[in-house]
């Protein structure tokens, strides 16, 4: 509650000078707030720009060290790996997800061998990069099967843990998968591998450029509304998070980010658990194109990221991570 009244109380006094504004600033960004997504592609000597995401690239494994080096130099605590899977390696059941020589597995071994624990590695657990239909799980009659999909996700999670992944991040939105994955990892001796649940992932319109990046956009059959959340709902997010915490999630993710700040704040206030926000590809591309076309200034990037901290996010997955870390 504000006590006092104008003219004795003048809130603008503290805004007059830069030093004063900095002194009372309520939130700030540091390099520790960011996770850098990295897209992988097969081949050699490739740094392939993703047209729908200006300034973001797919890297072959012989090029990936340059990106990891930058992330470590800028003090980022974690990177996230996402594969672009060639069409010939996709099939209806996403079998490539369980191939111990797949792109993510090879990247994990390479990065861990060179960098040890200098930086954490997060891996996405879902089948959409690997299925010919573009869905996150096993499909039957245009419906993603929950329990049968979990059996595959358990194996995918264990494989990634065996290859050196530090943070397993199921983004599939199957009911009960966090508990099943946690038990499976523990049973096989991976008690210390963390689980970041995409507990609140909406069936959003902001994912288009990401689907370009991993090569699932053209193959996607129908939408994902029968497993991802309705963007009209917020109370449902509380139930999703509560279940995942009970099943063993160490952290939870809200995705997309900026359109769902109310959800981030609601979850943080209620559960006091680390809540991560994903500034998704559509958000990134809108901001980048706005700056390119001089509709907004590039300080909009900092503003967009600060709003996540203000809402209560513990960390932010962002394609701006390295560029922003340079300025902090």
DSSP string for residues in 123-192: EEE-STTTBTT--SS-EETTEE-HHHHHHHHHHHHHHHHHTT-SEEEE-S--TTHHHHHHHHHHHTT-TT
The tokens for 271 are: 């559960």
Q: Which long-range contacts (CB under 8 A, 24 or more apart) does 90-94 make?
A: 90/130, 90/131, 90/132, 90/219, 91/130, 91/131, 91/132, 92/131, 92/132, 92/133, 92/139, 93/127, 93/131, 93/138, 93/152, 94/127, 94/128, 94/129, 94/130, 94/131, 94/138, 94/152
Across 234-259, average pLDDT: 98
Q: What pLDDT, on a 0 to 100 scale, did the predictor assign at position 58?
A: 98
Q: Which of 255, 268, 288, 309 does the annotation list as catalytic?
A: 255
Q: What is the pLDDT of residue 221?
A: 79
> What pLDDT sits at residue 1?
67
pLDDT (tens digit per residue) in 274-324: 999 999 999 999 999 999 999 999 999 999 999 999 999 999 999 999 999
Known catalytic membership, residue 255:
yes
Which of 63, 180, 201, 224 is flagged as catalytic?
201
Whether the predicted pLDDT of 328 surpasses 90: no
Domains belonging to the chain, first-starting first, are 29-327 (3.20.20.70)
pTM across the whole model = 0.95
Q: Is 265 a catalytic residue?
A: no
Model confidence pLDDT, tens digit, residues 13-48: 999 999 999 999 999 999 999 999 999 999 999 999
pLDDT digits (tens, 9 = 90+) for 151-204: 999 999 999 999 999 999 999 999 999 999 999 999 999 999 999 999 999 999
């Amino acid at each position: 509650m504000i006590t006092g009244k104008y003219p004795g109380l003048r809130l603008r006094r503290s805004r007059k000078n830069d030093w004063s504004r900095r002194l009372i600033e309520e939130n700030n960004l540091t390099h520790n707030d960011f996770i850098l997504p990295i897209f992988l592609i097969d081949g050699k000597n490739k740094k392939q720009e993703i047209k729908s995401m200006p300034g973001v690239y797919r890297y072959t494994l012989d090029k990936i060290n340059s990106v990891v080096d930058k992330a470590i130099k800028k003090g980022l605590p974690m990177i996230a790996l996402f594969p672009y899977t060639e069409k010939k390696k996709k099939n209806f059941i996403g079998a490539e997800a369980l191939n111990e020589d797949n792109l993510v597995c090879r990247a994990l071994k390479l990065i861990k061998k060179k960098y040890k624990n200098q930086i954490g590695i997060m891996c996405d657990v879902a089948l959409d990069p690997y299925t010919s239909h573009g869905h996150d799980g096993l499909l039957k009659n245009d419906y993603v099967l929950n329990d049968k999909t979990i059996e595959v996700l358990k194996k995918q999670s264990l494989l990634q843990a065996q290859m050196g992944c530090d943070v397993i991040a199921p983004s599939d939105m199957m009911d009960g998968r966090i508990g099943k994955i946690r038990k499976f990892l523990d049973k096989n001796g991976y008690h210390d591998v963390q689980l970041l649940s995409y507990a609140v992932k909406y069936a959003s319109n902001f994912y288009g450029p990401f689907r370009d990046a991993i090569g699932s956009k053209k193959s996607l059959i129908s939408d994902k509304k029968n497993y991802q959340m309705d963007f009209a709902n917020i109370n449902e997010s509380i139930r999703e998070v509560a279940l995942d915490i009970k099943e063993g999630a160490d952290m939870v993710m809200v995705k997309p980010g900026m359109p769902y700040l109310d959800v981030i704040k609601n979850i943080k206030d209620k559960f006091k658990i680390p809540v991560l926000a994903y500034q998704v590809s559509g958000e990134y591309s809108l901001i980048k194109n706005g700056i390119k076309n001089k509709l907004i200034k590039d300080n909009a990037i900092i503003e967009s990221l600060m709003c996540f901290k203000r809402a209560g996010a513990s960390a932010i997955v962002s394609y701006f991570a390295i560029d922003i870390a340079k300025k902090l």
